[in-house]
Structure 1
Amino acid sequence: MMKLPIFLLLLSLTTQTSLSKVTISVTPTTLQKSGDTVTISWSNVDSPSKLDWLGLYSPPDSPHDHFIGYKFLSSSPSWQSGSGSISLPITNLRSNYSFRIFHWTESEINPKRHDHDHNPLPGTAHFLAESDVVGFESGHGPEQIHLAYTDVEDEMRVMFVVGDGEERSVKWGERDGEWSHVSVARVVRYEREDMCDAPANGSIGWRDPGWIHDGVMKDLKKGVRYCYQVGSDSKGWSKTRSFVSRNGDSDETIAFLFGDMGTSTPYATFIRTQDESISTMKWILRDIEAIGDKHAFVSHIGDISYARGYSWLWDHFFTQIEPVASKVPYHVCIGNHEYDWPLQPWKPDWANAVYGTDGGGECGVPYSLKFNMPGNSSDSTGTRAPATRNLYYSFDTGAVHFVYISTETNFVAGSSQYNFIKQDLESVDRSKTPFVVVQGHRPMYTTSNENRDTPMRNKLLEHLEPLFAKYNVTLALWGHVHRYERFCPVNNFICGSTWKGFPVHAVIGMGGQDWQSIWEPRPDHPNDPIFPQPARSMFRGGEFGYTKLVATKEKLTLTYVGNHDGEMHDMVEFLASGEVLSGDDSISVDAGARIGVVDSTFSWYVKGASVLVLGAFVGYILGYASHSRKQNGNKASWTPVKSEDI
């Protein structure tokens, strides 16, 4: 038997003793539902580093570098003592969790291995300890519950996710516990092989998505509040939720609309998540509760979860929206971050710089199966993946006809989508729905400095603007640009005096994604931080938030609500006669425009300063360490992100 030199033996024993000292515990080890909190405690970490970190793993047997997220131990006030604790809300991924502690120092940072936010990913060379397994109790019913319209006015769709493919149902009635109807839900799922590219089809990005159940509640009375539960006797039922059904006899419309919201996580991960999404949902939930038994719905126009191939972020997203989406229908259209990948079927020459890898290899699959919108639009992916759905559709609610379109698939003259838009707009019954609202992701009009999308805007103007003008679209809403901007009634860049023939366009991509572009500079001074506001741009600003639409047959009102205070920051009114009234006595459009310009100038200076700081490697490391502590402590700091985030 070979004998080790005495100094190596002592070193080995010392290392083992040091490792054995580190303890980690987690309480509780059994949770009931997503959002329940666990506390992870540790002690006896020798020579603690401010970059020592706690990794979250699900399933528990994942390799060290396949974490779903991490927190630095330095986010605990007592970390320098070698002991501390961190509390985290946990999302049910239908598999157990474990937590691991690693030692990591600044000298070990590899700047070539970094996350989406340009921060080096933590190293896994020095594993210290692993916790017991944490899991979720069975019998508490499905999660990720969300509603949607069907093509039939007296129906309501409900979708949810569970960990197996066994039969589940939805039961409903006018009183809690008095279930007058029961309907079995159909079930679908997708596999790793359905993903089209990395990271979605890779071992790090993929997690089992569970089974997606889709039930329909039928024969609903008009404008009545219904209670419902989803689940089964053998596997448990959800707690009771309720919604107000549509009323075709009412001309009142209430909707909450935004784009580009994303989701927030209580930990750092491979890509940046959207903390502002929490406030967006908070204020919308406030407004929904305030309207009582009136019917309303939510419209999220593209860039939904920003999962971009990291599948557990879809679980976070649906958990986050459930308090809203289980009360009112949650409607969507597709954005670049749900779909775009290098081999997508429709990619004309003019779109080479437009369509890229923004979908993270998902190629629309999670979006197509986790939602089920009205209509039957679909496009083949050209792969084994299921066809991309929920591309274009329409419905009436109260006095408004809503149309959803896809800017990521073929919309030019002669395409199926173009024909749908044309036929839909020309068949609107204006005596029933005097107002028409069209929604899509990439904007036809914007004054943001987004040159990459110029070919897209030109094609939208060429092919769709004539339809919007001819058929008197009232309002066109767009996302993609993560700011709010409202235009005059406009056609071919000319302001009109009425929305008839001159739709009002508004960009409402301020739902949560915190990468914000600057506005267009002066053409002859492109490098100066001066951003004049064209006359056609009536109001623009950088505050996150959402819009609220309220309409009757006489008037439609759109208000912009800011997340900072939950108050109105802009308003525009549309009269059925065609008149457009901009703002109110408490809001100055000029002041709003100035705010937008000042905010953009500030953003330009911050970005410029960031480039200088990041130019030095030492500054890069120190800045990263500082950011990481803040990001994992209160997550309130600002960090520049890649331009591809739009």
Structure 2
Amino acid sequence: MSPSALLFLLAAHLAAGETTTSTTTLTATPATLTKPDHHAVTLQWSNLPDPGPLDYVAVYSPPTSGDLDYLGFLLLNSSASWATGAGSLALPRLPDLRAPYQFRLFRGPPGQNPRVDQDGDPLPDASHRTAVSGDVAHEGSGARPAQLHLAFTDEADEMRVLFVCGDGGTRSVRYGPAGRREEEEEWEEVPAVASTYERRHMCGHPANHSVGWRHPGFVFDGVMKALQPGTRYSYKVGNDSGGWSETHSFISRDAEANETIAFLFGDLGTYVPHNTYFRTPQESLSTVKWILRDLQALSDKPAIISHIGDISYAKGYALLWDHFFEQIEPIAASTPYHVCIGNHEYDWPSQPWKPSWAANVYNGKDGGGECGVPYSIKFRMPGNSSLPTGTDAPDTRNLYYSLDAGVVHFVYMSTETDFIRGSDQYNYIKADLERVNRSRTPFVVFQGHRPMYTSSNEAKDAAHREQMIQHLEPLFV
């Protein structure tokens, strides 16, 4: 057939209304996330034939993840124009996971009974992939420090800062009194020590499974020393090659302060701006927002934040730890953020301490297979309390400790490990309370995740409550 004949046939087909099928496209912009973007991504798709209400975009990191190992997903029907086969969605607050993101568009499962999560919402089955976006990465991903948070040490003239990088190379903390210029070499510099943990250290699903595990990077720990009491200091962390964090500031502890300002709460969790394997609390954003407002109003008055267990509610999904630390950084990078362990950081069926009365207390999988490891590495509280996990994982830390802040002596306990009379924790609490100087700290605040006094009628709460009252209450009265 001659070329002219082919052109004639093509023209005839087009005249009859026959068209070629366009490929479905999915784009994610910008390709590089910077601080001014507030880590927001816009997803756009087009040419999706016969769109359905359960079509979705799934979120992945790293891009090599299998289709079923998604971080979360967004239903396309959240876009006003989804029924046309084209639309856009915004994803704010994507933390730096030290690896690029990728987005994949899937057709929803057919029929009226798709798989659902614990809240009754549809879960992706990742069986009908239609389009894949380009990669999206954070500027300086992995090298630039992230997730800064402060904590007191055992010394009144020190302040600890922890942060995350993608590699374990040398990092430092630079600090000095606010107002002094760093370039005039009036700032001190101290090294930060790196630590991490591996997938093999997790003790169960989903923490040790490809769906939940993401490498945590390296947690760096640096201590600023010889601080003048009640003084504002500026600091930043990082190095010259990988980059430095923004400059933050804090008020150092003042042992002679005549007041204490503290924010106390538990069970905060973190919000994720897409669907995931369970509901994430949007209310946690408001909590951080109002604490930040109050801290700014305090100006140069020091404060302490006390998060009493059930920290990120990651429950084995590592992504949520990254979201949590990015969410609290605006307050935790300027105010010491203290924690104690809860069931959602620690509990798993083979945990070491399981007394007979706790058969219905410590037998769950609330920790999602983390067995306290992320909690122990990502935070560093005063004292040196620790317990073996019973596996080859790092010891569980940050169990019980105390500190003074102004006129208050704060005591933190672990309700998840042995606290009965004669245990190491009991002996520590008893001795600590006996040493309290009531003329200096007339107020004592005692904190633990599970309540000693509660209106709950659940059998497990009653058993735990009875043991705490029997063994600990005599220390307080």
Alignment TM-score > 0.5, same fold: yes
Equivalent residue number for residue 438 of structure 1: 446
CA distance in structure 2 between the aligned counterparts of 1:250 and 1:220, rounded to whole angstroms: 15
The structural deviation recorded for 1:352 is 1.4
Secondary structure at the aligned position of 2:290 is classed as helix
Aligned to 2:150: 147
Note the residue ranges of structure 1 that are not aligned, 5 or more in a row.
1-16, 470-646
User: Secondary structure of 1:384's partner?
Assistant: coil
Shift of residue 110, structure 1, vs aligned partner: 4.1
Give the partner amino acid of 2:294: D
Tell me what 1:100 maps to.
104
Of residues 367, 385, 389, the one that matches 1:359 is 367
SS in 2 for 1:414: coil
**Higher mean displacement: 408-417 or 31-40:** 31-40
User: Structure 2 counterpart of 1:416, which letter?
Assistant: D
Q: What does residue 263 of structure 2 align with?
A: 256
Contact kept in structure 1, 2:46 and 2:86, CA below 8 Å:
yes
Q: How many Å separate the matches in 2 of 1:283 and 1:394?
A: 26
> Structure 1 CA distance, aligned partners of 2:53 and 2:74?
11
Counterpart CA distance in 1 for 2:245 and 2:404 is 30
What is the CA–CA distance in structure 1 between the aligned matches of 2:173 and 2:397, rounded to whole Å? 24
Once the two structures are superposed, residues 562-604 of structure 1 have per-residue CA deviations (whole angstroms, 9 ceiling, x without a partner) of xxxxxxxxxxxxxxxxxxxxxxxxxxxxxxxxxxxxxxxxxxx
Asked if residue 290 in structure 1 is aligned to residue 290 in structure 2, the reply is no
**In the TM superposition, what are the counterparts of 1:26-105 in structure 2 within 5 Å?**
26-33=28-35, 35-89=38-92, 90-105=94-109
Partner of 1:405: 413
What residue is the counterpart of 1:522 in the other structure?
A: none
Query: Does residue 458 of structure 1 match 2:466?
Result: yes
Shift of 1:468: 1.3
Change (3 A) 1:133 1:108: farther
Aligned mates of 1:77, 1:351 — CA distance in 2: 51
Taking a change above 3 Å as real, the CA distance of residues 94 and 285 of structure 1, as seen in their structure-2 partners, is same
Look up the match of 1:207.
214
The Cα offsets for residues 184-219 of structure 1, whole Å up to 9 and x where unpaired, read as 100000000000111101111000100100000000
Task: Give me the CA root mean square deviation.
Answer: 1.4
Q: Which residue of 2 aligns with 1:376?
A: 384
CA contact (8 A) 1:223 1:244 kept: yes
Could you tell me how far apart the structure 2 residues matched to 1:388 and 1:35 are? 34
**How far off is 1:105 after superposition?**
4.1
Looking at structure 2, the residues matched to 116 and 176 of structure 1 have their Cα atoms a distance apart, in angstroms, of 53
Contact kept? 2:159, 2:225, Cα under 8 Å: yes
**Equivalence map 1:514-553=2 (5 Å):** none
Alignment of 1:449-598 (within 5 A): 449-469=457-477
Distance, in Å, in 1 between the alignment partners of 2:427 and 2:72 is 45
Q: Is the 8 A contact 2:161 2:223 kept in 1?
A: yes
Counterpart position of 1:121: 123
CA distance in 2, matches of 1:302, 1:41: 39
Is the 1:55–1:70 Cα contact (8 Å) retained in structure 2? yes
Residue type of the alignment partner of 1:392? Y
8 Å Cα contact 1:49-1:105 kept in structure 2: no
2:316 to 283, 293, 309: 309
Tell me the equivalent position of 1:138.
Answer: 140
Q: Which amino acid aligns with 1:370?
A: K
> Partner of 2:15 in structure 1?
none
- Could you say what secondary structure the match of 2:233 adopts? strand
Q: Which is further off, 354-363 or 100-109?
A: 100-109
Q: CA deviation at 1:108?
A: 6.6
- TM-score of the two chains, using structure 1 as the length reference: 0.68
Q: Identity over the aligned pairs, expressed in percent?
A: 58
CA distance in 1, matches of 2:225, 2:444: 27
Tell me which stretches of 4 or more aligned residues in structure 1 moved more than 6 Å: none
Structure 2 stretches of 5 or more lacking a match?
1-19
CA contact (8 A) 1:262 1:303 kept: yes
Per-residue deviation, residues 498-525 of structure 1 (Å, max 9, x unmatched): xxxxxxxxxxxxxxxxxxxxxxxxxxxx
Q: Does 1:393 align with 2:401?
A: yes
Distance 2:400 2:70 in 1: 37
Q: How far did residue 448 of structure 1 move?
A: 3.0
Secondary structure of 1:253 counterpart: coil
Secondary structure in 1 matching 2:331 = helix
For 1:277, give the aligned amino acid: S
| 1:106 Cα deviation from its structure 2 partner | 4.9
Aligned counterpart, 1:339: 346
- Counterpart amino acid of 1:329? P
In structure 2, what is the Cα distance between the partners aligned to 1:235 and 1:318?
Answer: 20
Query: In 2, are the aligned partners of 1:160 and 1:214 still within 8 Å (CA)?
Result: yes
Contact 2:358 2:460 survives alignment (8 Å): no
| TM-score, normalising length: structure 2 | 0.92
Structure 2 letter corresponding to 1:207: R
Q: Does 1:278 align with 2:285?
A: yes
Query: Number of paired residues?
Result: 450
Relative distance call for 1:444 and 1:184 in structure 2 (3 A) is same
1:624 alignment partner in structure 2 = none
Match of 2:176 in 1: 173
Shift of 1:271: 2.0
Give, as a single letter, the amino acid of the residue that structure 2 aligns with 1:340: D
Task: State the alpha-carbon separation in 2 of the partners of residues 105 and 408 from structure 1.
Answer: 41
Instruction: Check the 8 A contact 1:65/1:124 in 2, yes or no.
Output: yes
Contact 2:145 2:237 survives alignment (8 Å)? yes
- Please, which of 222, 234, 251 is the counterpart of residue 241 of structure 2? 234
